[in-house]
């Protein structure tokens, strides 16, 4: 029986777990806790979060696809029915920006919006971006190569995903820093320990962000270009166009989801590769090997760990009865470590060929940006390790002070 660290209590009989999500010993290395949960209690009630959590691969995979659960419930029930508080006035701008986010919708609204943007994100369209991603990565490395050291997040990882998604939507490169600021404030809403200041910052940034997108919509209405925003404005489905609120929400969710996770994944991947002691040259020797390496990094150090679902009806899963309106949490990053699916799950094995990782989700909300994120990772990581073959970690990497997102605050490298 493996011993538990002092910050973790598990009672397998009642399936109750006590764990402070704000403890750095936990979020600094959540994989260690996930491995223990797999041994003792893969489905558990997290006392501090007051909710049921699933870590088993088959459960998480099935729940993501289970239409008795949804990301939204207000399409079939009122706040009053569910005993939910009314939205807070100081979050009005945030709520409006989220109102038509793909991540907050269920069919039929979800199907309509997703169909309209999906075409731009299919692999054959995305593949055309490879030269641009290559050029950007090479240029950034040109900028710091002679220094012999760099902080990779600010000099590289932070810049590539936001530039690419902004260009796709039709936003000029020089907006990059403002987009990053808005989006950092915005995702503050998803943190375990958010404060009233975080909420005000998120609401303010949602307003600025929405106002900016509205100006851009007005410009593209007058003068369409070859970009996603023009495409969304002018595409109709069964005679219906997207409303301005729908356009704003869609642009915002694409921008936010489109870079935050990929930034963290670039940092996490470089770290795990360098810490493995294996030869990066071997991991990226050709396209097929690179793809496997990238998938293994997505499995073992996913950037976003938890996604929630509402039970849309009464339903029992793994012996636990849920009532309509209950919330459940799925720990995707833990499902990726299920010993029933992956041999020696805590070990980074770049040539692993086992189950597919669940880092991009599954079912109707499966990450629309997965082909873009995969292309970015498969393009920039080989370039980085080829250009800087002596790459080493210069200082112990600092993990971000949050749980939900798993990424690095800094990654100081030398060569
Ligand atoms: C490594 C990078 C990324 C990871 C790990 C990731 C992960 C995920 C996951 C797990 C979901 C499903 C959430 C759920 O089921 O509740 C999701 C949805 C989504 N992702 Fe990503 N994502 C990444 C990059 C991107 C990029 C580059 C874009 C840019 C377009 C993007 C846009 C979206 C959108 C719009 C959704 C909502 C789709 C829907 O609800 O239909 N993501 N992502």
Q: What residue owns the CA closest to ligand 1's atom 1?
A: 262
Ligand 1 close to Cβ of residue 261 (< 6 A) = yes
Distance from Cα 281 to the centre of ligand 1, integer Å: 29
Distance from Cα 256 to the centre of ligand 1, integer Å: 9
**Nearest-angstrom CA–CA distance, 117 and 249:** 12
Ligand 1 close to Cβ of residue 304 (< 6 A) = yes
Ligand 1 close to Cβ of residue 103 (< 6 A) = yes
Sign of CA dihedral 360, 364, 365, 371: positive
**Nearest-angstrom CA–CA distance, 386 and 146:** 15
Residue of 300, 299, 286 whose CA lies nearest to 382: 286
Ligand 1 close to Cβ of residue 129 (< 6 A) = no
Q: Which atom of ligand 1 is nearest to the CA of 265?
A: 1
3-class DSSP assignment, residue 362: coil
Ligand 1 close to Cβ of residue 359 (< 6 A) = yes
Question: End-to-end CA distance of the chain, in Å?
Answer: 42
pLDDT tens digits, residue range 177-232?
999 999 989 888 877 678 899 999 999 999 999 999 999 999 999 999 999 999 88
Sign of CA dihedral 4, 299, 367, 382: positive
Ligand 1 close to Cβ of residue 361 (< 6 A) = yes
Q: What residue owns the CA closest to ligand 1's atom 7?
A: 360
Distance from Cα 367 to the centre of ligand 1, integer Å: 4
- What's residue 33's pLDDT? 97
Distance from Cα 119 to the centre of ligand 1, integer Å: 15
DSSP string, 260-320: HHHHHHHHHHHHHHHHH-S-HHHHTSSHHHHHHHHHHHHHHT-SB-EEEEEESS-EEETTE
Residue 79 pairs with which residues in a beta bridge? none
The model's pTM is 0.96
Distance from Cα 369 to the centre of ligand 1, integer Å: 6
- What's residue 385's pLDDT? 98
pLDDT tens digits, residue range 72-108?
999 999 999 888 888 888 999 999 999 999 999 999 9
Ligand 1 close to Cβ of residue 379 (< 6 A) = no
- What's residue 192's pLDDT? 67
Ligand 1 close to Cβ of residue 303 (< 6 A) = yes
DSSP code for 16: E
Ligand 1 close to Cβ of residue 263 (< 6 A) = no
Distance from Cα 2 to the centre of ligand 1, integer Å: 35
Distance from Cα 306 to the centre of ligand 1, integer Å: 12
- What's residue 373's pLDDT? 97
Ligand 1 close to Cβ of residue 97 (< 6 A) = no
Helix, strand, coil % in the chain, rounded to nearest 5: 55, 15, 35
Distance from Cα 103 to the centre of ligand 1, integer Å: 9
Q: Which helix (H) or strand (E) holds 408?
A: strand 408-410
Distance from Cα 102 to the centre of ligand 1, integer Å: 10
Distance from Cα 294 to the centre of ligand 1, integer Å: 16
Distance from Cα 231 to the centre of ligand 1, integer Å: 20
To test the ligand 1 pocket, which listed residue (69, 103, 115, 257) has its Cβ within 8 A of the most ligand atoms?
257
Ligand 1 close to Cβ of residue 100 (< 6 A) = no
Ligand 1 close to Cβ of residue 170 (< 6 A) = no
**Cβ proximity of 306 and 379 under 8 Å:** no
Using alpha carbons only, give the angle 218, 115, 314 rounded to the nearest 5 degrees: 120
Q: What residue owns the CA closest to ligand 1's atom 19?
A: 367
Low-confidence stretches of the chain (pLDDT beneath 50): 1
- What's residue 320's pLDDT? 98
């Amino acid at each position: 029986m493996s011993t538990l660290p002092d910050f973790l209590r598990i009672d397998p009989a009642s399936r109750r777990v006590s764990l402070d999500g704000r403890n750095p010993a936990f979020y600094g290395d959540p994989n260690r806790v996930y491995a223990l949960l797999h041994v003792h209690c893969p489905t558990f009630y997290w006392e501090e979060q007051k909710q049921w959590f699933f870590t088993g691969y088959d459960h998480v995979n099935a729940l993501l696809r289970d239409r008795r659960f949804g990301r939204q419930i207000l399409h079939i029930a009122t706040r009053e029915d569910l005993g939910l508080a009314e939205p807070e006035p100081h979050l009005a701008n945030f709520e409006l920006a989220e109102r038509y986010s793909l991540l907050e919708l269920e069919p039929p609204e979800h199907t309509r919006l997703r169909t309209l943007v999906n075409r731009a994100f299919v692999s054959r369209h995305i593949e055309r971006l490879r030269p641009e991603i290559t050029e950007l990565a090479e240029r950034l490395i040109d900028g710091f190569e002679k220094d012999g050291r760099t902080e990779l997040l600010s000099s590289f990882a932070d810049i590539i995903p936001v530039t690419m998604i902004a260009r796709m939507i039709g936003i000029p490169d020089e907006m990059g820093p403002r987009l990053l600021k808005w989006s950092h404030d915005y995702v503050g809403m998803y943190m375990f320990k958010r404060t009233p200041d975080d909420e005000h910052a998120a609401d303010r940034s949602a307003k600025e962000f929405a106002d900016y997108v509205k100006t851009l919509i007005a410009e593209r209405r007058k003068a369409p270009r070859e970009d996603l925003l023009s495409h969304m404005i002018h595409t109709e489905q069964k005679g219906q166009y997207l409303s301005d609120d729908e356009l704003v929400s869609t642009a915002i969710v694409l921008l936010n989801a489109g870079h935050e996770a990929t930034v963290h994944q670039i940092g996490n991947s470089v770290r795990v590769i360098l810490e493995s002691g294996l030869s990066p040259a071997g991991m990226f020797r050709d396209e097929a090997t690179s793809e496997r390496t990238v998938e293994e990094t997505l499995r073992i150090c996913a950037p976003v760990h938890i996604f929630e679902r509402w039970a849309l009806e009464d339903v029992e899963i793994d012996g636990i009865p849920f009532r309509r309106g209950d919330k459940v949490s799925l720990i995707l990053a833990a499902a990726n470590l299920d010993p029933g699916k992956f041999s020696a799950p805590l070990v980074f094995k770049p040539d692993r060929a086992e189950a597919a990782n669940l880092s991009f989700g599954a079912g109707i909300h499966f990450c629309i940006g997965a082909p873009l994120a995969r292309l970015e990772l498969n393009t920039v990581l080989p370039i980085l390790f080829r250009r800087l073959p002596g790459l080493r970690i210069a200082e112990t990497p600092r993990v971000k002070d949050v749980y939900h997102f798993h990424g690095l605050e800094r990654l100081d490298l030398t060569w």
